[in-house]
Structure 1
Amino acid sequence: MSVEEVLVRLVNDLGAFALIALGYRAVFKHFAAAWARSVVLGIMFGMGALWAILNSAEVRPGVFVDARCVMIALAGPFGGPVSTVLAAALASLYRLWLGGAGAYTGTANIIVTAIIGIVSAHALGIERNVLSRRHLAWLGLASSAGFLTIFALPSEIAWPIFKATFIPVLIANALGVLLLGQFLGRERRSLDRQHELEVEAFVDPLTKLPNRRMLERVVAPMIQRTQDGHGALSVLVIDIDHFKQVNDRYGHDAGDVVLQQVAQIVRRNIRSQDAVARFGGEELIVAMPSTEAAAASAMADRIREIIARETGRNLGVTVSIGVAADRGKQATFKRLFKAADEALYFAKQNGRNQIALAAG
């Protein structure tokens, strides 16, 4: 096969890789769990490598030349170690299944490139949105190092193949990683920015807790389950006692620190199925699905005691907590919040640093 034919095959590979790369954003959109994204991205990059092997140029019986390593190299910075291992495993198994004189050297090429991709992603800091053309160009050139495994073949086979195809493969790998890497990098930066905007919209910047808007979203299915007869829903309204005095005496910076500490204590001491949010000012809300009033009151009192012990050492900070629980068709978040807020007012009026359970 001529050098021109090899070049045509390599260019076709890069075109197919571009189509596969278009699915990168869709993976992040449809798979929220990190492990699921890693698996799907590994399959995606692996399928790109498989396509390259299917479309490869057979330069000697059983010896194939293609741009598979572009996909394997990019799996490291844009998919992570799990994706790289999965993509390399898919490509290696297929190459071994094809067999031929170059089966083992071709598989070694894939493995070497996978290691280069993982190491480069870590060493050069090109993971996520820390990208540069220089880094990608370096990775593209480095990904061709695996081609040297061809010298495991007898020299009378390896040398002619190397001299005829190494430069085209080097160019294809360098350009492929550079161009596709820039595209994937833009997609990743866009995704990261979108995530930042979502965080800004739904997370309180001071306490890092969800805000009121996010809490209402999270509580909606809890309310639905409660209305469907799956136990009671309890709500805690937590308010820092004499918070204005803390700000006046020690300054707003100290007040911010106290609010952050209280928020983290509450977060640490609720269950994984519970939801906590900053509702405004120094007020925090906890929603506890499938929880009766007695259990919610016990949890509230435990939180109150921990805050008084851990935060009150230096500033004497305490909290008051209102508790309300409801079940059945009449349960709504508005109704629960109003009842818990009224119970909180009762706790404040009767000395603070205590919990109060809403009537009924």
Structure 2
Amino acid sequence: MHSQTTSASKAATPSLALVALLAALFATTPLAIDMYLPAMPTMAEGMGAPIGMVQQSLSIFLVFYALGMLITGPLADSLGRRKLALSGLAGFALASVMLSQTNSIEVFLFWRAIQAFSGAAATVVVPGIIRYLYQEHTAKGMSYVAMTMMLAPLLAPALGSLVMWFSSWQMIFVSLALYAAIMLLICWRYLPNINQSKPAEPAARLQFLHGYKTVLSLKAARPDIATSMFSSFAFFCFLTAVPLVYIEYFGVNELWFALLFAFNVLLLMLANLLNSRLVSRTGPERMLKLGVILALSSASLLVLFNALHLSLWFTVLTIGPLMASLGLIATNADAMILMRFPEHTGTATAVIGTLRFGSGALAGPLLALTYTGTALPFSVLMWLGVLCILLSQWHKQKTFR
């Protein structure tokens, strides 16, 4: 068993197998988010609950995932990443099994929260390992993992529909439990344990606030933290609204929905592939700026086209580059944040994840509050998210340059 603790003084050489393992571990969350989306109406009928209650399980997942990162992030820095990943995967598998066994919406929401919290413990370790392995090329490593991890949201809705075709919604969560169990065995065998240079004293292991103070007190990192948060908000506006916009408003069928969803994910993967090839030469700062320019242009056109009530294809052709640009922005912002905190990557990841998924949880209520039966509200909310990214980077350039 490869359980040795990797010393911070001797960085491991990144391998394709290890990058694939980290991506598969990171993919636990998008699988849990996207795979059950096609089953929501059937689940509501089967549990005798309003569809709104089932939809709230997504917001609950995001909230408890953010809370989980907030708590487990510092533990990754003090207790070691391997131990945390293994315990998180075990909890995720157990919660998934329990989700497959319940017919009560209240019990379902409870175990959904446990699943999210456990998933946070498993995935919070990934950016810290990437930071250790890639050092000053962290943005390149993040691009490789993000590009591979994008297969999860690309395939998840189709996998969920396929499971529903042959079985029932319960089997979706059984499948998630099996995935977590397989990942647990692989991580137990191959995941390295990377701790901080100096082992934390037992009393210091519970001093969560010290790590957060270190991360949040660095003013130079705040604009990039805000950038990561607002890019996630825009992304979750799309994720929350896209079934309603494509299926209900534009009237596409399930097959076209899957194809259009896959198109957006493929562009996200292409953006990360481009970033992995260019970022070593141009630097993450320039790639982030490129993403902001593309995002602002695409988001502005998206608002204009939907304000004029133009056809589906105008939305598709602006959403695609917008999603790709959000991928560029988030990947490079996260990398620059992690590079500032080599001894607190777990805590920095927790800050990023908490704000990211916390802001994502706001997307649903805001979309419901602004709902008009058209595609304009989600377009405007995505544009506002991009505008906040632009303001964050403008403040960074004005204040720290």
TM-score clears 0.5:
no
Q: Which has the higher helix share?
A: 2
Q: TM-score range by the shorter chain?
A: under 0.3
Does 1 or 2 have the higher relative contact order (CA < 8 Å, sep 6+)?
Answer: 2
TM (norm. structure 1) is 0.28
Q: Which has the higher strand share?
A: 1
